[in-house]
Amino acid sequence: MTKNSSRIRTLTHIAMFAAVLTICSQIAIPLPAGVPVTLQTFAMALAGYVLGAKNGTFSVLTWGIIGICGIPVFANFVGGPAAIFGKTGGFIYGFLFIAFFCGMGTQKSLPVKILLSVCGLLLCHLCGVLHFSVLTGIDPFKSALLVSFPFLIKDLLSLVVAERFSTVLHRAVAKTPAAF
């Protein structure tokens, strides 16, 4: 494979995962606090596990830039800079941590992979809570009760399912000639 075709393949994978992130963002259940239940955590973790830290993070960054430009890729078909400055903005940029840390764990032992993934998730939640707190004027602990704690079990399960799915995907692709 030439260097050029390798770059094209990498860019294609990044773009494909930006599309997956968009699709998973639209599977959303609105909640009263303004932060919906989505499959975004699953998608961000999957991008990291499948593409690795660098390319997984680039796919999330690509998705975020597309959304900031006004394309409705964020949850509930929202797009534009207002989304970053809205109640869910901290989670949107916090997703970079999930993809990066999940990707960092791809070549590590399972306990290290789990630890890194949970660190990424907690950093994402920290960004989301602090952003929500500043925006709404609600203290950080109460903000965490509203927009973080109710999602932690679902998000931890999302990490596990994404890790298992990526393992199955990697095995299937390894058996396929000229794949990933």
Nearest 10 degrees: Cα torsion 170, 171, 174, 178: -60
For residue range 56-72, what is the model confidence (pLDDT) as tens digits? 999 999 999 999 999 99
pLDDT band at 170 (very low <50, low <70, confident <90, very high): confident
For residue range 3-46, what is the model confidence (pLDDT) as tens digits? 888 899 999 999 999 999 999 999 988 888 778 889 999 999 99
pLDDT at 1: 64
pLDDT band at 122 (very low <50, low <70, confident <90, very high): very high
For residue range 86-121, what is the model confidence (pLDDT) as tens digits? 999 999 999 999 999 999 999 899 999 999 999 999
Calculate the CA 19 to chain-centre distance.
Answer: 12
pLDDT band at 84 (very low <50, low <70, confident <90, very high): very high
Calculate the CA 53 to chain-centre distance.
Answer: 12
Q: What is the pTM of this model?
A: 0.91
* Whole-number Å distance between alpha carbons of 5 and 16: 16
The percent of residues above 90 in pLDDT, for the chain, comes to 82
Residue scoring higher pLDDT (171 or 135): 135
| Close Cβ partners of 9 (under 8 Å, ≥ 6 residues apart) | 1
Residue scoring higher pLDDT (174 or 48): 48
pLDDT at 35: 84
